[in-house]
Chain A
């Protein structure tokens, strides 16, 4: 299963990067969201899948799933949420302000 999950993470990265290389802001933000999903899946896969019970202590259970990657992913989800929402609002303001959301048109000019 780990192999399939690795491939799935790869697919998420591929589509994320492809979106990242586009000209429209909306696609770029979708790309970052996909990449963060891919990263989370990557971390989870690296911590070994399904080796035991959910990491909540109960009597008579010795074997638990690795809790550390889960804690890391939790932190990461929250941070990427914060960044994504900021990016969204930034894209909204930038396209309002400049009248375009095309990244090729949004370049600084040396004489500005």
Chain B
């Protein structure tokens, strides 16, 4: 399985080499190998005697993260869908994409996506699942933005990225909580500890976070807005990612965690509530669209909502219907996208208002589209698979479990009506899609190219998919016990008998519901022009795209504003901010820890001369603030320096006094030298408030240092180590001057690098004065 998962990526490495010959042989033919091989590898697992297979490989054993793969009925269904439709889509793309496109990039992204999807559905480890999950987001981002010179592509790619990654990250949060609670990272081990999770105090949070991941990925309300914009991608991508595979990753996730979560009634409320809302909203919005792919996008949203709501019902009939519909939806939606692509390819437009009467020009595509849309609409004909799953859906809505939550019971009552309501619109847009495109008046004058039937290669994939539609329609029990029953079992968590699906099951309520849908839908569809006003009036300006745009726009503006407030380019402000931070932290710590101490056993006595020196220094320091004459400023600074030298004398530090005197003299001389060239000091022009802030900050900082000094002096915890230096200065260092012995012997490295500092400063000064670029020299 490891090899199967990574086969597409391995192949992707060679794509740049293959694409060199793309003029002779389309790169897609090489790519075809990967999904086909995986499909062939997994197909033998289908059978009555299926039992789950698991394999693991070490990855990060210390974190208990391994490449654990687990193949049960659920994974098998998805793996076969991904590889099977992947093969067909790749084949279709060979004829769809011209060799003048950047094929190497397209196929590398596509193969990356395949690996990611295989990884998502086969992983048993939550963190590995998450890694692959994000890889699908990234590769989907790359594929949507494939024609990156178009503004719409970039917008759609960014939108889908932001929304799905938002969900992905919250899902990661849920996974981390799950792995902490259960002390395992394996999904199967978590399922066996379902009661631990259900009784955990974090269960609500886990459920919300994981479902957020699933809802964003599967374009559930209100996160559905990225999917219609993702239609900017090349049509094979839309057909593959945004109808059959990636958008079902969220469905897969919910299905995978159903054995854990379905124990809670909130699971039903969230999943079914959101699902049914998405179904109604998506199918209503689809009616308003004029772009073929726009209709299909909203149709996908609504069908995903239907599957999601069935997963939420949690009854065995509903889960079976959900599984069945996952398969059916993949077949008819994939083929419809491909036909939309063919129409686009052969007429140059996807705008349904400019299309019409194409049935005589493109008879094969039209036939395929009829099968696809009728199946999607759930027309009661015995050769359309969509009808069966829709019927099972209605059946399931009528048999909902009682719940302890009052709202859930109300929801359960409303669901059948909502399901019928949504399905009516499904019927309307399906009819609009097929009749608007292929029937009615021909409008050839509005088309850029003269339409004609697509090349046979392009038609093969939709033909195969439509064959699937018809085959499942004619023999709905073909794959039941050998395949779908295992999938449903994996979701339900208990063994389940294969349902016998039949076309005719008597005059039952679901059939009446279907008949209502068809009759009301037909009336609405054929009187569509009278309703156009209503469709464009409701929801009018209510759009979640606006919310998204507003959020993105405002967050950009707000962060720009915040940044502009403090990043003004003024060094004074930065300095002030740094100092205020220091003040707040230090005073805060002093306050919290009650760190100020003022008890001093060893204070030196106060002498007049020291006080005088100190007063002089303080006065000189204060004078530097007020002086406006640069020479005066330099000399006053000199007074401070010489005062310090005097203090060094008083405090028995002869070397320091010497150095300080010399350094102060040189500094003053340097100042004088330099300042001959510098403009004179000006009067300070700052505003009074600014001045006040400066005074407060500087006084506070001075106070802080004094307080720290006094507290530190009052609490000396350990004995000095200087006795060692005094003792060994002569014995080990061979010198009487202890300070000098420390400098060159005991702590010689300090001195070495201090010399380096001086050397660097000297070199830098030399460079600053001597080196100028040519412009200045002139």
Contact = CB atoms under 8 A, between A and B. Distances in A.
A18 B602 CA distance: 33
Contact of A9 (B660, B666, B709): B709
Interface string B648-690: 1011111110011001001100110011011101101110000
Interface in A55-112: 55-58, 64-68, 70-71, 73-75, 77-79, 81-86, 88-93, 95-97, 101, 103-104, 107-108
Given A22-B684, A74-B656, A3 B666 contact: no
Contact of A17 (B648, B697, B706): B697
B725 interface: yes
B757 A13 contact: no
A85 B743 contact: no
Contact of B737 (A41, A49, A56): A56
B273 to A, nearest CB: 49
A52 B652 contact: yes
B584 interface: no
Contact of A1 (B607, B652, B720): B607
Nearest to B701: A17
Interface in B731-770: 736-739, 742-743, 747, 750-751, 754, 757-758, 760-762, 764-765, 768-769
Most A Cβ at <10 Å: residue of B579, B651, B764: B651
Contact of B738 (A8, A67, A95, A96): A67
Contacts of A12: 617-618, 621, 640, 702
A57 B644 contact: no
Contact of B644 (A14, A40, A79): A40
A64 B52 CA distance: 83
B604 to A, nearest CB: 4
Interface stretch (B87-95, B98-106, B184-192, B570-578): B570-578
Contacts of B654: 54, 56
B671 A88 contact: yes
Contacts of B569: 107-108
A53 B652 CA distance: 7
A96 B776 CA distance: 11
B622 interface: yes
B418 interface: no
B666 A81 contact: yes
Most chain B CB within 10 A, of A6, A67, A75, A83, is at A67
Nearest to B710: A6
A54 B652 contact: yes
A75 B588 CA distance: 32
- The binding surface of chain A is classed by DSSP as helix
B738 A88 contact: no
B760 to A, nearest CB: 8
Given A22-B684, A93-B768, A84 B698 contact: no
A57 B678 CA distance: 47
Nearest to B633: A30
Contacts of A84: 667, 670
Select the residue from B686, B695, B710, B722 with max chain A CB neighbours within 10 A. B722
A58 B685 CA distance: 57
Interface in B493-521: none
A77 B760 CA distance: 16
B585 interface: no
Question: Which residue of A16, A74, A92, A97 has the most chain B CB atoms within 10 A of its CB atom?
Answer: A74
A4 to B, nearest CB: 6
Given A8-B614, A10-B705, A93-B769, A2 B621 contact: no
Contacts of B670: 84-85, 88
B655 to A, nearest CB: 6
A74 B570 contact: no
Contacts of A73: 653, 656
Contact of B742 (A16, A67, A108): A67
Contacts of A68: 720-722, 725, 742
B625 interface: yes
A81 B513 CA distance: 92
A19 B576 contact: no
B757 A79 contact: yes
Given A52-B652, A65-B652, 6 more contacts: A5-B614, A6-B706, A11-B621, A64-B738, A81-B758, A86-B761
12 contacts: A10-B705, A10-B709, A21-B576, A26-B678, A38-B705, A44-B647, A44-B656, A45-B713, A64-B738, A78-B754, A79-B754, A95-B678
Closest 8 CB pairs of A and B: A14-B702, A107-B569, A10-B706, A82-B761, A6-B709, A17-B698, A18-B698, A10-B702
